Structure 1
Amino acid sequence: MLRYTVRRLLQLVLVLFVLSILLFVWLRNLPGGTVTAILGDRATPEKRAELESVLGLDQPIFVQYFKFLGRALTGDFGQSTGVAPGTDALQVFLTRFGATVELAFGAIVLALLLGIPLGYWAARRKGGVLDSGLIVVSLVGIAVPVFFLAFLLKYVFAVRMGLLPPSGRQTPNIDATRVTGLFVLDGLLTREWDASWDAVKHLILPWIALATIPFAVIFRITRASVLEVQGEDFVRTAEAKGLTTSTIRSRHILRNAMLPVITVTGLQTGALLVGAVLTETVFAYPGIGEALAVGFTKKDYPVIQVVVIASAAAFVIINTVVDLLYAVVDPRIRTR
């Protein structure tokens, strides 16, 4: 198990190193570039040359990269030029990361709470009316664009019915104590129940919009996996031995069927963390997705760099943890 863990951690470092190179080269080849983004209409040839010298952009690309890497390892990604001008780019990410964690965590929990039971239930009643209905629902969940569903939910439940807030993370004038940066958790820790509930109300619609695709994926994977496992020889052997139905379902069918579900859950969680741009933009939710969208619009390269690298790190770490959990559940993985 130790060797497997070390191997996965080394792969994590290699992935982040390669990503940093690709991101660095790509950003420096975008139209306009960093100098144009900073100077704007004041970009005379003299000022461009002066700023390029100050930023080190007149040096060879590999020299620029290793200087960037050295600063990045100390947490210095430069200052924001568009999302929060003058603010440290890493601080912009840290300020917004908690919001995206709350959004992604709630969405994946919702997807799991619905996807696994419904997938198992549909597999046990294969071919039935409700099984077919759930398959159709899952297909719709995958096919409908997230931004369209987000706009629809916002229009119906926030604008037309006024049941839930249309945007933001929490009511601006609410008296709330900040502890962890996770507003729902902060309210629970400080027993400020109104603040916690207010944060939840702001999250309900984004949770639903963001959970549709992972729910559909988890449902279909669970259903297919249960159908496959319940036809295996070891299940029939357990039935022949006279084990109770509940024991067979929990220990033999469900446990083995969960192996691919664990993998896809890790992938979906990582994807939610780095791919909530549309949902956060529609609901004006101040997470890293919205920061990334604004960063591209305003050519805020320091923020883009830290958000992409940190988000990729979170994605890779989550999937590494999932791989380790997979190895715990299925010891055969460790020898591969």
Structure 2
Amino acid sequence: MLRFIIRRLIQMVGVVIVLSALVFAWLKVLPGGTVGALLGERATPERRAAMEKALGLDQPIYVQYWEFVKRAVRGEFGASTSVQPGTDAMDVFLTRFPATIELAVCALVIAVLLGVPLGYLAARRRASWFDNVSIVSSLVGIAVPVFFLAFMLQYVFAVKLHWLPVSGRQDPDVNGTRVTGFFILDGLLTREFDASWNAIKHLILPSIALATIPFAVVFRITRASVLEVLDEDYVRTAESKGLTNRVIRGRHVLRNALLPVVTTIGLQTGGLLVGAVLTERVFSWGGLGDALALAFTRRDYAVLQVCILMATVTFVVVNLLVDIAYAVIDPRVRTR
């Protein structure tokens, strides 16, 4: 198991290096470039030349990339020019990262808690009314755009029914103590349970909107995987031996059917970070998605760098954890 983890760690480092090179190259071809974003309307030829020399942009490309990597390892990306002017870009990331993680984790929990059991039940009741309704619901979940569903949920449950808040992470009059940046957890740690409950109410609508596509994907993969396992010879052999349904479901069906599901859940985690851009904008969530949208619009390259690179590292780490979970479920994976 240790050799398997070391092998995956080496692969993870390689992926991060390649992606850092792609981010560096991408930033080089963006309109205006870093110098144009920093100088703005003051970007005269003389000022541009001076700024390029100060930033080392007059050096050979491989020297620039090496300096870029060293600054990234140290967490030095420069100051934000427009998202939070004057604030260090890494501080912008660290401030907004908990908001996105809180939203993504809640959406993933909803998708898994609904998608796996419903997918299993739909497979066990193949061609029944429950199976047909579930399939149609999952198709709707994939087809409806996230931003449209977010607006609909916001309009119905917040504007018309007044059951839930319209936007934000907490009401402005809730002065909760900040410890970790995760509002729900902070309220629990400081015993400010009213602040936690207020944060939960704000989290419901955006997490439901963000969870629709992951739920649909997890449901369909679970259903297809269970159907495939149910047709295997070892399941029929277990039934012929007179084993109880509980033993067959737990030992033979679910354990083997979960392998592709675990992989799908890991991949959907990255998708949640992408989908969070639209969801956070609709609900004024104030996370990484909102920061990325603002940084793209206002050419804040320092924030773009840190958000893209750290999102990449997060995605790679999640996939490492998925690989480890996969190896725990199926020991044969460790030898591949």
1:207: Cα distance to partner?
Answer: 0.5
Letter of the 2:148 counterpart: F
Q: Distance in 2 between matches of 1:77 and 1:3?
A: 34
Q: Which residue of 2 aligns with 1:119?
A: 119
1:293: Cα distance to partner?
Answer: 0.6
Letter of the 2:51 counterpart: L
1:175: Cα distance to partner?
Answer: 2.2
The answer as to 2:302 corresponding to 1:299 is: no
**Superposed, which structure 2 residues align to 1:188-227 within 5 Å?**
188-227=188-227
Q: Distance in 2 between matches of 1:64 and 1:224?
A: 49
**Which range moved further: 198-207 or 150-159?**
150-159
**Which range moved further: 207-216 or 162-171?**
162-171
**Superposed, which structure 2 residues align to 1:33-182 within 5 Å?**
33-182=33-182
Q: Distance in 2 between matches of 1:240 and 1:124?
A: 18
Q: Which residue of 1 aligns with 2:281?
A: 281
1:328: Cα distance to partner?
Answer: 1.1
Q: Kindly provide the CA deviation profile for residues 95-115 of structure 1, in whole angstroms up to 9, marking residues without a partner as x.
A: 111001100000000011110
Determine helix, strand or coil for the equivalent of 2:191.
coil
Letter of the 1:301 counterpart: Y
Q: Kindly provide the CA deviation profile for residues 129-165 of structure 1, in whole angstroms up to 9, marking residues without a partner as x.
A: 1211110110110111111111111111112222211
8 Å CA contact 1:176, 1:187 repeated in 2: yes
The answer as to 2:263 corresponding to 1:228 is: no
Determine helix, strand or coil for the equivalent of 2:204.
helix
8 Å CA contact 2:110, 2:211 repeated in 1: yes
TM-score norm. by structure 2 comes to: 0.98
1:45: Cα distance to partner?
Answer: 1.5
Q: Which residue of 2 aligns with 1:326?
A: 326
8 Å CA contact 1:270, 1:319 repeated in 2: no
8 Å CA contact 1:274, 1:312 repeated in 2: no
Determine helix, strand or coil for the equivalent of 1:185.
helix
1:274: Cα distance to partner?
Answer: 4.3
Q: Which residue of 1 aligns with 2:186?
A: 186
Q: Which residue of 2 aligns with 1:238?
A: 238
Q: Which residue of 2 aligns with 1:11?
A: 11
Letter of the 2:283 counterpart: F
Q: Distance in 1 between matches of 2:2 and 2:275?
A: 32
Runs of 4+ in 1 over 4 A off after TM superposition: none
Letter of the 1:290 counterpart: D
Q: Kindly provide the CA deviation profile for residues 265-319 of structure 1, in whole angstroms up to 9, marking residues without a partner as x.
A: 1111232134411111111111111111111111111110110010010001001
Q: Distance in 1 between matches of 2:160 and 2:62?
A: 55
What is the total number of aligned residue pairs between the two structures?
336
8 Å CA contact 2:146, 2:275 repeated in 1: no
TM-score norm. by structure 1 comes to: 0.98
1:190: Cα distance to partner?
Answer: 1.6
Q: Distance in 1 between matches of 2:226 and 2:59?
A: 58
Q: Which runs of 5+ in 2 are unaligned?
A: none
8 Å CA contact 1:107, 1:208 repeated in 2: yes
Determine helix, strand or coil for the equivalent of 2:29.
coil
Q: Distance in 2 between matches of 1:103 and 1:251?
A: 33
